[in-house]
Structure 1
Amino acid sequence: MASTAATEAKKKPPTFSSLSISQTTVTVLIKTPSKPPTSNVFPLKSSSSAAEHKFVIHKDFICYHSPFFSAAFNGNFEEGRTQTMTLVDVDPVLFAIVVNWIYSKVVANEKEERPDLVTCAKIWLLGDRFLMRSMQNEAIKHIHAYLGAARGVELVEFGEFCTIAAAIKHEDNPLARIAVIMMCWSKKTFDAWVDRVPYSIFLPAAKALRKCREKVDPYKMPDEVCWEGIVEKLFVKDETDKGKA
């Protein structure tokens, strides 16, 4: 049976020792459109120029961790012929975090610190786009730790986090689930954001809180609002790794 490029790339993980010999690299170009000039006196012509950020990455590494890039760079697409991909709708700062994760398996910013809540949510989204399940699950761990440490404290970023979570159309939405749980667990968070979070976050939270009030067993919290032990339930299954992300 013929194997797909993605399956082939998953057979053997690359190691840093392999970098001691010549390795094939691929290039990912991130183009960010320049803001058009403005004037209160007269209109100015819009510039079509864009800032370009170049990432040169070892092919074995990026293709092993991302079936999305593996299919592109090993297939018959233009990316396969040129070994170059151009992305115009990705924040280069976020993509730098992705590249760092490819080599280190750590979700960290340029200061080698855990990114903020909203950045972790955006990294989760990029992981979903690039089919990088292990990176998504690492981002979820950070989100869980961030929210867990902030329970009882009003979160400045929580509204934006909920907006990102609500925009996800997947039937199983880990970001929305953890946002709902946070609304239920932290009274201060609920009071601060109840009239500002998207309805798709508020409604499940309200239903879960009603279920808490009506629960028969006073010593057992409904699954919808259980904080402890929730993080692994929010993991995305990686089919290529037989469920082990």
Structure 2
Amino acid sequence: MRSPSSTPDSTAPLSSSLTTMEGADRSAKKASSPALHSSGTLRGMSSTPVPESSQGRAQARKKKIPSLRRPQSVVTVVVGPEELAESFIIHKDMICHHSSYFAKAFNGKLLESKTQTMTIPDIDTDPKDRDGNVILLAQFWILAHRFGVPTLQNNIMDGLRPLVECIEGEALKGFLHYAYDVEGETMLKRLAADRMAWATSAKGLQVWMSGGHLPEGLLEDIIMSLKKDHVHGLEPTTKFGTFGSAKEYYVGEEEKVVIPKQEK
């Protein structure tokens, strides 16, 4: 993966059957909500409402974790470009339990359900640590978002939320643009908008705006953030205000799987 400030690498296509599955998912989503994508080449679409806090989603029924007391079938996931690909053998019930994406791929009428192997070439298997882990954690969150692993997303958010509040300058700019390079509604965008709305001075925000440093769609989301009572009556804890804890940006199990957009 690369920072949004640089030119994204071309995304290699997935297997034909997986592409068919993703195409079907796209058609189904168009009728109800904007498709979510995870690729550095995507553009933010923030004209739609920011998703509500997942606190109301906590009532969702939790699935029972599969038992490993008995022998389990396994699947193979091959990650990375062909010359650097790494293979991982994983208990099928376990990966399908935690990821709706893999559950759809390995169960059903797709090629992956027959071969029990999935190849994902468009993932960097050797990411570079930079910007105090902010971009790296954001990339990891999007990856978990793409594969429908909400528990992992929420664990990542616990570490990402305080970092986003503290970063400034180029590190903050990189995070904002990365968050808004993803199409559709995400809690990562909401975090970015709340950061600029509630932890940036009026003078500082003016500099960001006049310098053209804000990604497309962020200003509208900042305005909407300032109009919402999303901090539940908390008193300001910093010089410029406050925004919610990490739990404000948790996602629930009904979060839709992200469909990777193919590079043209």
The question of whether the paired residues in 1 share the 8 Å contact of 2:195 and 2:243 is answered with no
For 1:199, the equivalent position in structure 2 comes to: 216
2:7 matched residue in structure 1: none
CA distance in 2, matches of 1:180, 1:199: 12
Highest Rg: 1 or 2?
1
Richer in helix (by share): 1
Q: Counterparts of 1:208 and 1:89 in 2: how far apart (Å)?
A: 33
Distance 1:136 1:208, change over 3 A: closer
Structure 2 unmatched runs, 5+: 1-61, 229-233, 256-264
Q: Which residue of 2 is the match for residue 28 of structure 1? A: 77
Q: Do structure 1's residue 12 and structure 2's residue 64 form an aligned pair?
A: yes
Mapping of residues 65-84 of structure 1, within 5 Å: 65-84=98-117
Q: Deviations over 1:178-209 (max 9, x none)?
A: 11222231349747754323132234336767
Check conservation: 1:154, 1:192, Cα contact below 8 A.
no
> Within 5 A, what are the aligned runs for 1:56-205?
56-93=89-126, 116-148=133-165, 150=166, 154-170=168-184, 172-184=185-197, 185-187=199-201, 190=205, 193-194=208-209, 195=211, 196-205=213-222
Q: How many residues align?
A: 180
Residues 85 and 121 in structure 2, CA contact (< 8 A), matched pair in contact too: no
Deviations 1:148-204 (CA, angstroms, capped at 9, x unpaired): 3x1xx525422221112112222x332122112222313497477543231322343
TM-score normalised by structure 2 residue count: 0.57
Which structure has the higher relative contact order (CA within 8 Å, separation 6+)? 2
How far did 1:28 drift? 0.6
Contact in 2 for aligned 1:141/1:231 (Cα 8 Å): yes
CA contact (8 A) 2:79 2:120 kept: yes
Pick closer, same or farther for the CA change 1:159–1:131 going to 2, 3 Å: same
Deviation of 1:133 after TM superposition, in Å, equals 1.5
TM-score for the superposition, normalised by structure 1: 0.60
Distance 2:104 2:225 in 1: 41
1:228 deviates by 4.3
> Residues 31 and 53 of structure 1 are in contact (CA less than 8 Å); yes or no, is this contact kept in structure 2?
yes
Partner of 1:51: 84
Per the TM alignment, residue 126 of structure 1 is displaced from its structure 2 partner at its CA by: 1.6
> In structure 1, how many angstroms separate the alpha carbons of the residues matched to 2:204 and 2:107?
47
| Residue 62 (structure 1) shift | 0.6
Offset, 1:239: 3.1
Q: Which shifted more, 82-91 or 153-162? A: 153-162
Quick one: structure 1 residues 231 and 31, their matched pair in 2 at CA, closer, same or farther if it must change by over 3 Å? closer
Change (3 A) 1:186 1:11: closer
Q: 1:61 to 1:193 in 2, by over 3 A?
A: farther
CA distance in structure 1 between the partners assigned to 2:189 and 2:241 by the alignment: 14
CA–CA separation in structure 2 for the residues paired with 1:226 and 1:65: 36
CA distance in 2, matches of 1:208, 1:60: 40
Question: What is the RMSD of the two structures over their aligned residues, measured on CA atoms?
Answer: 3.5
Seq. identity, %: 29
Q: 1:123 to 1:226 in 2, by over 3 A?
A: farther
Q: Using a 3 Å threshold, how does the CA distance of structure 1 residues 177 and 206 change in structure 2: closer, same or farther?
A: same
